[in-house]
Structure 1
Amino acid sequence: MSRSLVIGFGNIDRADDGVAYHIVNALRNRLGKEGLGEGDTGLEGLGEQTDTVFLAQLVPELIELLADYGRIIFVDAHVDQSLGDLHCGRVRPESASPVFSHHMTPAMLLALTSALHGREPAGYLVSVRGGCFDFHQGLSPGCEALVEPAVCNILELLNISAKSAKFPKRGNRRVP
């Protein structure tokens, strides 16, 4: 059975842009793992069947890490009106040049992993609509309500029954 990596990315100091941090921690909770503290990435605890990390942004240095996994699930916030409040879809490798040199997309990382290692992990994106990107920590009510459904989508992608995974210990709400 191939290993899976869930990579949440965003800025926890910009309100809803940090939703992936909350999703990753809720997922870790459901998987029986301790949540990441502020500033922790999860990179020091790799080596399980399903690994979970949170980073401020995607960087080329992740290519070496991605090559060790059969499935990569990227988790992020979005503002795209063409996507629903909760988007879950396949990510295919794409080698387009970034507009800004510090900005990598999931598709670019998968393409570089394939080119450098000859391996093409299955890629997925779980993205939650954000409504507030002000300078503060915490999520808007609408974004917070999407955390648990996003976790359920990730569990489904991991082929883990949402019913067999633990329910959240802290005040996270389950939204149908």
Structure 2
Amino acid sequence: MKLLLFGYGNIDRQDDGVAWHILRGVAEHYQVMLPTVPEESNCVLSPAITTTFALQLTPESAEWVAEFEEVIFIDAHTGSVADPLHVEELNANFQTSPFTHHLTPQSCLALAGSLYGKTPKATLISVRGYEFGFAQNQSKQTEDLARQAVRVIISKIDQAGDFFARHL
């Protein structure tokens, strides 16, 4: 079983880039150091766990997603989502968008199933962003939520049982 941690957002827009910081926190937990800013799009944490980061989900993301049995999508959200730290199990569901270059995680899963015949189990972990200016620093509130998100992801990996533990 292979797990993909797929973070996306704009690291140059403060809290919008929280997914990168979360990926770094998870990697550090497993003694893997990711760069301060994403220089490569993916990093293998273990034979069973890979991270990737992108500005946004695109139709091309579906091919990569289809290679995994489970995906955890990681993103920022605004105050329109009630929970500051939102965790949601996802189903494949194509959602129309005026932008063909931008997908929701559900649409990405639907494309993976339609084009590649594989729809992995998926979860969205979304962290509330408070500041979206042109900078790479995060707000204090989002930093705190990012640490919580790292713990949630590590807990999900631990709950997946012996398979991931044997491959770390």
Normalising TM by the smaller chain, what interval? 0.7 to 0.9
What does residue 170 of structure 1 align with? none
User: How big is the shift at 1:143?
Assistant: 0.4
CA separation in 2, counterparts of 1:145 and 1:44? 24
Alignment RMSD:
2.0
What does residue 97 of structure 1 align with? 96
User: How big is the shift at 1:84?
Assistant: 0.7
AA partner of residue 99 (structure 1): P
User: How big is the shift at 1:116?
Assistant: 1.4
Q: Trace 1:60-99 onto structure 2 (pairs within 5 A).
A: 60-99=59-98
Matched residue pairs, number? 161
Q: Secondary structure at 1:58's aligned position in 2?
A: coil
Q: Compared with structure 1, are the counterparts of its residues 41 and 7 closer, same or farther at alpha carbon in structure 2 (3 Å cutoff)?
A: farther
Q: Compared with structure 1, are the counterparts of its residues 84 and 111 closer, same or farther at alpha carbon in structure 2 (3 Å cutoff)?
A: same
What does residue 42 of structure 2 align with? 43
What does residue 32 of structure 2 align with? 33
What does residue 145 of structure 1 align with? 144
Q: Secondary structure at 1:148's aligned position in 2?
A: helix
Give a deviation string over 1:124-158, Cα, whole Å, max 9, x none: 00000000001111100100111111011111222
Q: Secondary structure at 1:72's aligned position in 2?
A: strand
What does residue 20 of structure 1 align with? 19
Structure 2: segments with no counterpart, 5+ residues: none
CA separation in 2, counterparts of 1:58 and 1:137? 20
Is the 2:38–2:53 contact (alpha carbons within 8 Å) kept by the matching residues of 1?
no
AA partner of residue 63 (structure 1): A
Give a deviation string over 1:3-25, Cα, whole Å, max 9, x none: 00001100011010011110011
Q: Compared with structure 1, are the counterparts of its residues 44 and 130 closer, same or farther at alpha carbon in structure 2 (3 Å cutoff)?
A: closer
Is the 1:10–1:76 contact (alpha carbons within 8 Å) kept by the matching residues of 2?
yes
Is the 1:36–1:42 contact (alpha carbons within 8 Å) kept by the matching residues of 2?
no
Structure 1: segments with no counterpart, 5+ residues: 166-176
Is the 2:89–2:124 contact (alpha carbons within 8 Å) kept by the matching residues of 1?
yes
AA partner of residue 102 (structure 2): H
CA separation in 2, counterparts of 1:25 and 1:58? 19
Tell me the TM-score normalised to structure 1 length.
Answer: 0.84
> Is residue 2:98 matched to residue 1:112?
no
Q: Secondary structure at 1:60's aligned position in 2?
A: coil
Tell me the TM-score normalised to structure 2 length.
Answer: 0.88
AA partner of residue 50 (structure 1): I
> If each structure's helix is expressed as a fraction of its own residues, which one has the higher value?
2
Q: Percent identity?
A: 35
CA separation in 2, counterparts of 1:125 and 1:41? 22
Is the 2:43–2:52 contact (alpha carbons within 8 Å) kept by the matching residues of 1?
no
